[in-house]
Structure 1
């Protein structure tokens, strides 16, 4: 196996930590890029230095809230900066994690990821996109966003996937000799689940009562309810179910 130098944007984030681990375990050189390491993909501070000698960028940097406008601006700016700095540094390509159904989204954070994909794919460097289902860890976020010992979670279909599983597939995509341009590859968990039922399992451990709601009022709730954010027939299904994953968590 040839050793490649990877620059990982968002290296200290939820998914980024797993990407760094997978790359390191496979013997590659890793340059972690985040504000914690002195690299800012929005202002560009430290970016040129971090990309010196890098052959591939893996972009898993994200915006911490679901605000569509703020997230869109973050993704648009980071995509342009990574392309510009990457081109000057001689980077061969960018691999990015996106969300299953981003192409269908009309509102919210997933719509911001749709813009992220579009800006990246229109840049000068070749880009490989991996669309993933919602992470297991997202269920905890749904509970964290609500105060008190009662949480309201929509009964929307999902196919939750482990971050580690996504990281492994993203590294495979980034290192593959060539990948098909269509359809865009997808990674999801092993079976269809309900977001509210997954939240109830986690809520029972946290002492939080989870009340199932219909999801109306959420961005693209009708699309989600109709299965628009579930994996397509070409998707790779892997990793533990949410309940299996939960048993491994402290």
Structure 2
């Protein structure tokens, strides 16, 4: 099976390419650096010609209101090119909880992207993943100041990027879902606790202060960012990943 991975040079995209290749499939990474531009459509049809499945692992360059315009244009161009090229399956990597946190503009933009895939001309699968282990440090940096990091008690269920890539690869090489599959790590932890665990393993002396108004994830309540019933639960625990 031949796949095209749009955003295939990024953190998760490159792992999807690697996973598919290990399984014996032909997986080609595409990005602006390889001559494929989602906003202009340049290079899309040639990149998708002869491809069985296209995987969209792109991110908007901004997380503000402009992200909706990015996804609207990029997704329309991608799906139009996929139809022209005869692609039979389009897979979108999305985020668990995008439809449950309306106060986050980036999440609203991802909901728009999902709706475009659902209404598009190509059979689709949507894979919603929780936050990647690899992004926890970045999340903490948003509210770090001096010797402290302020974090809310928002529940997260983070996943290793490699585990998320495996889930995407498995779905991409199967029949289209015509629906959504959640994938998540095995542990549900408050974000402030994740911060304390991370700092302790890193030997970082900063203090984690609980602040339920700190950072964008403060907009999520309850279990909004955790997996739903029927989700695929990956095997890797955060503490084990940190230790490794």
Q: TM exceeds 0.5?
A: yes
Counterpart position of 1:237: 233
- 1:169 matched to 2:167? The reply is yes
CA contact (8 A) 2:131 2:158 kept: yes
TM (norm. structure 2) is 0.90
SS in 2 for 1:185: strand
2:206 to 209, 221, 226: 209
Find the aligned partners of 2:31 and 2:214 in 1 and give their Cα distance: 34
Find the aligned partners of 2:75 and 2:223 in 1 and give their Cα distance: 29
1:195 to 187, 191, 196: 191
- Residues 144-166 of structure 1: per-residue CA shift (max 9 Å, x gap): 43464432222211111111111
1:244 CA displacement: 1.0
Find the aligned partners of 1:115 and 1:208 in 2 and give their Cα distance: 41
- 1:246 matched to 2:242? The reply is yes
1:134 CA displacement: 1.1
Identify the range of structure 1 (230-239 vs 206-215) with the bigger mean alpha-carbon deviation.
Answer: 206-215
SS in 1 for 2:223: coil
Counterpart position of 1:103: 99
CA contact (8 A) 1:120 1:127 kept: yes
SS in 2 for 1:225: coil
2:222 to 221, 226, 229: 226
CA contact (8 A) 1:41 1:82 kept: yes
Find the aligned partners of 1:95 and 1:57 in 2 and give their Cα distance: 6
SS in 2 for 1:22: helix
Find the aligned partners of 2:38 and 2:185 in 1 and give their Cα distance: 30
CA contact (8 A) 1:7 1:33 kept: yes
Find the aligned partners of 2:23 and 2:124 in 1 and give their Cα distance: 22
Structure 1 pair 210/65, CA: closer, same or farther in 2 (3 Å)? farther
TM (norm. structure 1) is 0.88
Aligned residues: 241
Structure 1 pair 147/85, CA: closer, same or farther in 2 (3 Å)? farther
Query: How do 1:69-88 residues align onto structure 2 when only pairs under 5 Å count?
Result: 69-88=65-84
Find the aligned partners of 2:15 and 2:114 in 1 and give their Cα distance: 21
Q: Which runs of 5+ in 1 are unaligned?
A: none
1:185 to 173, 181, 187: 181
1:206 CA displacement: 6.2
SS in 1 for 2:14: helix
Query: How do 1:35-50 residues align onto structure 2 when only pairs under 5 Å count?
Result: 35-50=32-47
CA contact (8 A) 2:123 2:176 kept: no
CA contact (8 A) 1:156 1:214 kept: no
Query: How do 1:148-163 residues align onto structure 2 when only pairs under 5 Å count?
Result: 148-163=146-161
1:185 CA displacement: 1.3
1:140 CA displacement: 1.4
SS in 1 for 2:63: coil
